[in-house]
Chain A
Amino acid sequence: MTRETLDRKLNSLLDDVQSLEELVEKATIGAVEALKRQDLVAAQQIYDDDKTINTLRYNLENDCIITIATQQPIMAGDLRLVASILEVAGELERMGDYAKGIAKICLLIGKEPLIKPLVDIPRMVEISLGMLRRAVSAFINHDVELARSIPDDDYQVDDLYNQVYRELIMIMFTRPTTIDQANHLMWAAHNLERMADRVTNICERAIYVVTGEMKEVDQTDDEMNSSSHGDGG
Chain B
Amino acid sequence: MNKFILENLSLTYSDNVQALKGIILEIPAHSITVLFGPAGGGKSSLLRTLNRLNDLADVKQITGRADLLDQDGNILSLLDKNTDVIALRRRLSMVFARPIVLPLSIRQNLTYGLEVSGVHERGRLDQSVEHSLQQAALWDEVKDRLNDPATMLSGGQQQRLCLARCLALEPEVIMLDEPTSGLDPISTNKVEASLQKLKENYTIILVPHSIQQAARMADLAAFFLQGELIEVAPGNDIFINPGQVKTRDYIEGRFG
Contact = CB atoms under 8 A, between A and B. Distances in A.
Nearest to B210: A73
B212 A77 contact: no
Nearest to A214: B241
B212 A76 contact: no
Given A72-B212, A73-B212, A75-B215, A212 B240 contact: yes
Interface string A1-20: 11100100000000000000
Interface residues of B, number: 14
B211 A76 contact: no
A211 to B, nearest CB: 8
B224 interface: no
B253 A1 contact: yes
Q: Tell me which of B240, B251, B252, B253 has the highest count of chain A C-beta atoms within 10 A of its own C-beta.
A: B253
B98 to A, nearest CB: 24
B254 interface: yes
B4 interface: no
A83 to B, nearest CB: 9
B211 A75 contact: yes
A75 B254 contact: no
Nearest to B254: A3
Interface in B203-250: 210-212, 215, 239-242, 247-248
Given A212-B240, A212-B241, A77 B253 contact: no
Contacts of B251: 73, 75-76
A134 to B, nearest CB: 25
A73 B239 CA distance: 10
Contacts of B210: 73
B253 to A, nearest CB: 5
B254 A79 contact: no
A79 B251 CA distance: 11
A41 to B, nearest CB: 49
Contact of A73 (B215, B241, B247, B248): B215
A148 interface: no
Contact of B248 (A3, A6, A72, A77): A77
Contacts of B212: 72-73
A78 interface: yes
A80 interface: yes
A75 B252 CA distance: 6
A6 B253 contact: yes
Contacts of A6: 253
B209 to A, nearest CB: 13
Given A73-B211, A73-B215, A79 B253 contact: no
B255 to A, nearest CB: 9
A77 B241 CA distance: 7
B210 to A, nearest CB: 8
Interface in A153-206: none
Nearest to B213: A73
Interface string A50-83: 0000000000000000000000110111111000
Q: Tell me which of A72, A73, A76, A79 has the highest count of chain B C-beta atoms within 10 A of its own C-beta.
A: A76
A9 to B, nearest CB: 12
Interface in A192-229: 212
Interface string B180-224: 000000000000000000000000000000111001000000000
Nearest to B211: A73
B240 A79 contact: yes
Q: Tell me which of B211, B212, B215, B241 has the highest count of chain A C-beta atoms within 10 A of its own C-beta.
A: B241
A2 B242 CA distance: 20
Contacts of B241: 76, 80, 212
Nearest to A83: B240
A6 B241 CA distance: 18
A3 B242 CA distance: 18
Contacts of A212: 240-241
A147 B211 CA distance: 32
B190 to A, nearest CB: 21
17 contacts: A1-B253, A2-B253, A3-B253, A72-B212, A73-B212, A73-B215, A73-B253, A75-B211, A75-B252, A76-B239, A76-B251, A76-B252, A77-B248, A78-B252, A79-B240, A80-B241, A212-B241
Given A73-B215, A77-B248, 12 more contacts: A3-B252, A73-B211, A73-B212, A73-B251, A73-B253, A75-B252, A76-B239, A76-B240, A76-B248, A79-B239, A80-B240, A212-B240
- The 8 A-B residue pairs with the shortest CB-CB distance, nearest first, are A212-B241, A75-B251, A75-B239, A3-B253, A73-B211, A76-B248, A73-B212, A76-B252
